[in-house]
Amino acid sequence: MTHPATGLPSPSNPADPAASARTGTAAPGTHAVPGVPGTQRGAARGGAARTADRAGGDAADPAGDDLAGGDLARRATVDPLFRLVAYALEAAHGRRPTAVWSAPYAFHLGSPGLVAAAGWPTAAAAAPRTDGLVRLSSLAHPADGCDLPLTLAGPPPDTPEWAVRPYAVLRALARAGHGRGGTDLHVQGSLTAAAGLATAEPAECAIALAVADVHGRRGEEPDRAHLARLLADALPDGDDTLRRAALFARPGKALLLAPEPGRGRRYVDFDPAASGARLVLLAVRGDPADRPAELARAVALTRAAGALSAWQPGQREGRSVLVLLPEARLAAVRAAVAEDFRGRGRPVPRFLNIAVAGPARREK
């Protein structure tokens, strides 16, 4: 049997969102998200180091301060997240960005290979170098700004745990000819891991696009299919379908992806707002040991109050679920969950509106 909203076969799982309807709206926040690699730990670098880098030489590419992206921090009309990431790169490394890229968080829809992007982005600001050094920072790790040699072979430098995956991205790019001279990079997300959406995959996409852009030909957009293959090879334990959603999504559409990168994708309608529905992310709080039971209880409450379906947003069970519900039932669903959790003295779960968004893009 096919589902009327997507035209796809309805799975046996009754929680499949494609078997119900479409999504709502969201506005970016300014919370932190895991960012980038490092070994030398400590606060942002001091004025002397910044002055030395501004002086140029072989360390910094002076063109990096003059291209589009460098003035984002000073434009009042720019989204606050992108102003923040541009300013943070300059504050941490003494240089304005050559480019700022954003990539959306993404989620599964319950059917194999069916994914979509959420209207909440991760951003990466980058400026090229020529000395083979990468300088990395993130407000999610304010004391762990770091300088690393960009090595193509052998063991990677000793890095904090959170830095391993981003450094693997930079190394894979360099091996493919992108950014061998090094990069100054700052990464910042609009959500934390506490929200329950995967944070690594959008960060990896934003980093790859930003680095490929600033080291590529001016005015030429990076090859997304090529970068998708690089990321899949460099980080095979990641969720490649979420990365491809971040790279190729369309607003109001879900992507049905072939199992292997580059082997085709098609788009199907998934726009809850167009059918009077709302998509929200429900995230429980409190002791991690209690989260599975509390999440199950919250889902049962949403269903009793009128939700149409609920499902995990990723491949790994976590602290959140996506809930599809009629627009008219949103207040009742939130009230039912809040009343139950407050009555038991438990932290009230958070609800986050989710819009079905477009792909990663260069911010201007």
Spell out the alpha helix ranges (H) of the chain.
47-54, 80-93, 164-175, 200-214, 224-234, 240-248, 291-304, 330-343
Residue 80 confidence (pLDDT):
92
Q: Greater confidence, 31 or 176?
A: 176
pTM reported for the whole predicted model:
0.82
d(CA 250, CA 360): 10
With a cut of 50, say whether residue 20 has pLDDT above it. Answer: no
Measured over the CA atoms of residue 22, residue 28, residue 32 and residue 37, the dihedral's sign is positive
| Confidence at 256, pLDDT banded by 50, 70, 90 | very high
What would the mean pLDDT of 148-157 be, rounded to a whole number? 92
d(CA 161, CA 175): 22
Residue 260 confidence (pLDDT):
64
Phi, psi for residue 156 in degrees, rounded to 5:
-70, 160
